[in-house]
Amino acid sequence: ETNNGPSNSSSIFSAPSNSQSSRNILSSDDDMPRSLEYDYYRESCPKAEQIIRMAVRNQHKFRPNIAPAFLRLIFHDCFIEGCDASVLLDAIGGGGSEKEVPPNETLKGFDVVDFIKSEVEEACPGVVSCADILALAAREAVSLAGGPYYPLLTGRRDSLLPFPELAAYEIPNPQDDLSTIIASFASRGFDEQEAVTLLGAHSVGMIHCKFFANRLYNFHNTEQPDPSVDAEFLNFMRTICNNSNPSLSTSPPLSSPMPSRSSPSSQSSRGMMKMDYEGPGTDFGTLYYRSLLRNRGILFADQQLTSGENTKVWVTAYATNPLLFRKEFAMVMMKLSNLSVLTAPMGQVRLHCAKVA
């Protein structure tokens, strides 16, 4: 089934796929890594994309939080040695896994990936890579979360090992400042606009208070909150995270709960805050950028996007132009999904996503 995506367009299909830019189509060398292809499994597993799509949609009915979980998973996979499903691997031998390093401790959705993989294995054993499953599932997740649908090439292969040290140091940190964020994205080929666009993923999902608790009371040992936080919003975040901050001697004031549309208690569960704390917007992404313009970003890193001239231009553009954001988000997700992919004869197709074959 190929009629689900936007129509063909050469610009859409020319998304870069770093590892094979030097491929020579006249070469007879079979060791030359292949390119990703449109509908790579059309002969080997024609139902693969449909199985993945239906599995994600079915799971989403009773676990809507798998949409943000998959969106975050593909980011954490592709940022570390490319989109090779390295993030899914259990520890091998004495080495660790990416899953267990601090930036990845709260990743979710591994069980659902395993479930999807088992359904695909039933249809076509040993054919469809975990890296493709992750990319296709994330695309479905974006669409289920109200975001755009984008075409994807397939034919990714899975890594032979996890990269826990890289994951520990190279996944962006919520306390990073703008120049650190820009440098991290630039080293993977994303410019400032694309970094701003990708952060729009923070329109959906949940954030544990521990990732922004330092902004609430004692920012950088000043014994003051982060001065860049809107005062009313500061109260709101404190209220939500109060229960999870036992070190407090006095409770923060509960006056002016905000936003008025919902009570703080409905916004938190076990020390977490909803990223769409103002309720789901009608336009995917717009509320995230609007809240940044009002100094209501949840993470320090989020709010940093308004501190640079270039990045602020894009925050403002996306806050006011939902269609522009949809288009740019689709493009940047395609680029993210193609980052340093492994293709045959490199890598392998795992039989279980957590174990090398």
Tell me which residues touch Ca ion (CB under 5 A). Answer: 77, 80-81, 84, 86
Q: Degrees (nearest 5) of the Cα angle 319, 321, 236?
A: 20
- Kindly give, in sequence order, each residue whose CB lies less than 8 Å from that of residue 321, ignoring residues fewer than 6 positions away: none
Name the minimum Å distance from CB 349 to Ca ion.
15
Given the complex with ligand HEM, which of 49 and 77 has the nearer CB atom? 77
Task: Determine the length of the chain.
Answer: 357
Q: Which of ligand HEM, Ca ion, none does residue 207 bind (CB under 5 to 8 Å by kind)?
A: ligand HEM
Interacting residue ranges for ligand HEM, rule: CB under 6 A: 65, 68-69, 71-72, 75, 106, 108, 172-174, 176, 181, 198-199, 201-202, 204-208, 211, 299, 301
Is 60 marked within a binding site? no
Given the complex with Ca ion, which of 319 and 341 has the nearer CB atom? 341
How far is 106 from 275, CA to CA, in rounded Å? Answer: 15
Tell me the two tokens of residue 70.
């998959």
How far is 128 from 122, CA to CA, in rounded Å? Answer: 11
Given the complex with ligand HEM, which of 59 and 348 has the nearer CB atom? 59
In this structure, are residues 91 and 162 in contact, taking their beta carbons and an 8 Å threshold? Answer: yes
Catalytic residue at 220? no
HEC string of 19-66 equals: HHCCCCCCCCCCCCCCCCEECCCCCCCCCHHHHHHHHHHHHHHHCCCH
Is 184 marked within a binding site? no
Q: Which of Ca ion, ligand HEM, none does residue 335 bind (CB under 5 to 8 Å by kind)?
A: none
Given the complex with ligand HEM, which of 45 and 171 has the nearer CB atom? 171
Report the interhelical angle of 48-62 vs 110-123 (nearest 10°): 140
Name the minimum Å distance from CB 129 to ligand HEM.
20
Q: Which of Ca ion, ligand HEM, none does residue 134 bind (CB under 5 to 8 Å by kind)?
A: none
Q: Which of ligand HEM, Ca ion, none does residue 271 bind (CB under 5 to 8 Å by kind)?
A: none
Residue from 84, 112, 105, 52 nearest 356 by CA? 84
Residues making up the annotated binding site for heme b are 202
Residues making up the annotated binding site for Ca(2+) are 77, 82, 84, 86, 98, 276
The set of catalytic residues is 76
